[in-house]
Amino acid sequence: MKYNDVQVSVLVEDRVSDEYAIANESENTITCWIASEEGKEFKIKISNSSSSTALSSWVQIDVRLMVSSVSRPKTSSLVHGASISSTVSN
């Protein structure tokens, strides 16, 4: 997903996952869903291409806050996820 100077990708086995139902929920919130595979670990790559503005991001999975981070201008970071299992509950 890309919004202004921000690019976010979900990587499974270091490949970018397909994104579905991308929606601008508000001026600063974008959502999508991806298909998960049991036993596969994922990473979320957050890239900030702005030359002057830092970026705060919050990663939510199934409405749960998993991690928050700050990206400096012209940087990328990886957020490591957790293995998905068939016993995950809300």
Per-residue pLDDT tens over the stretch 6-65: 888 888 888 999 999 988 888 778 888 888 777 788 888 889 998 898 888 877 777 777
Q: What's the number of domains the chain is made of?
A: 1
Q: Quick check: is 89 in a domain?
A: no
In a domain, 67, yes or no: yes
Decide if 14 is inside a domain.
yes
Structure tokens at 58: 């919050």
Mean per-residue pLDDT, 82-89 = 52
| pLDDT tens digit sequence for 72-82 | 889 888 777 65
Summarised one tens digit per residue, pLDDT across range 39-48 is: 788 888 889 9
Look at residue 86 and tell me whether its pLDDT is greater than 70. Answer: no
Residue ranges making up the domain that contains 6: 2-80
**Model confidence, pTM:** 0.73
CA quadruple 7, 10, 11, 15: dihedral positive or negative?
negative
Considering the domain boundaries, does residue 10 fall inside one?
A: yes
Residue 34 lies in a domain: yes
Does residue 90 fall inside a structural domain?
no
Q: Is residue 72 part of a domain?
A: yes
Residue 9: inside a domain, yes or no?
yes
